[in-house]
Amino acid sequence: MTLSGVFVPLVTPFDEAGAVAVDALDRLAREVLDDGATGLVALGTTGEPAALTDAERRTVLDVVGRVCRERSAPLLVGANTRAELVALADSGATAALCAVPAFLRPGEDGVVAHFATLTGPVPLVVYHVPYRTGQPLSAGAIRRLAALPGVVGIKHAVGSVDADTMDLLTNPPADFAVLGGDDVFISPMLALGAHGGILASAHFATRRFADLVDAWHTDPPRARALSAPLTAGAAALFAAPNPTLVKAVLHARGRIPTPAVRLPLLAPDPTLVDAAVRAW
């Protein structure tokens, strides 16, 4: 299994009473798949999973999982512990999106050993985001992770296209998906050979993001033309903590009932909301 294309990490919309807006979540899932997304991510960072109750997380997984089953679309689910992974075994999830351990900075050997203990219940996609976790990984360490049975890919979000990114994409592991996770860097990642992206910005203009992935593999001049407005739009959406602006624009477009986020997130500055709305 090599994952490719555009995966949309869905927001968790809330209604006026503060509950999960189930109908809006179902509608969002269907809209982005209809518009060209390859698959969906449930309970990723964009979905605010840490702010949800256990029951709410089950509701989100049930809704998004049902849509993916109906559409035969792959589903990634955010999960970071052995217990969470075991619970996913019968959920129909294609893979779990599992973050490199944060804050502890266990070193590369510790990261590899950690993921070795998690393999088995479901395939794993490593979520590598060192500016959040504090733990960098070299291209060599990523290749060691790729060699673990059941580790099928990586969400690669290092905040740049650095030397290790170049090294990894110059000689990628076989049968291992490299998915760009920094929306503003998705074009250079694809140009270097990434298989696709996990992109919060693809709540909007999903078809253009899907076309961007295809074009970098088949028609680079067209890909360059597509890139500039999508990159600018992504930058506007990430001018405040994610998913505050994504939700604000979705609400402004009438796609979710409120723009509400839960603490510790706060509503974004209205000036940034206006800029993001204009960008999309």
| Bond into 243 cis (ω within 30) | yes
Q: State the burial class of residue 271 (Cβ atoms within 10 Å of its Cβ: 0-12, 13-18, 19+).
A: exposed
Residue with tokens 């969400």: 155
Catalytic residue among 127, 216, 238, 280: 127
Instruction: Indicate the helix (H) or strand (E) that contains 50.
Output: none
- Would you list the DSSP string of 123-160? -EEEEE-HHHHS----HHHHHHHHTSTTEEEEEE--SS
Q: Clarify whether 127 is annotated catalytic.
A: yes
What are the residue ranges of helices labelled H in the chain?
Answer: 22-34, 54-71, 82-88, 107-118, 130-133, 139-146, 163-170, 186-191, 206-218, 220-237, 244-252, 270-279
Q: 155, 156, 195, 208: which is the annotated catalytic residue?
A: 155
Active site residue 131: no
Amino acid at 17: A
Residues 3/196, Cβ–Cβ less than 8 Å: yes
Using alpha carbons, select from 71, 55, 57, 54 the residue that is nearest to residue 10. 57
| Centroid of chain to Cα 98 | 11
Distances from the Cα of 170 to the Cα of 151, 164, 178, 223, 226, angstroms: 20, 10, 12, 20, 24
Under 8 Å between Cβ of 96 and 88:
yes
List residues with catalytic annotation.
Answer: 127, 155
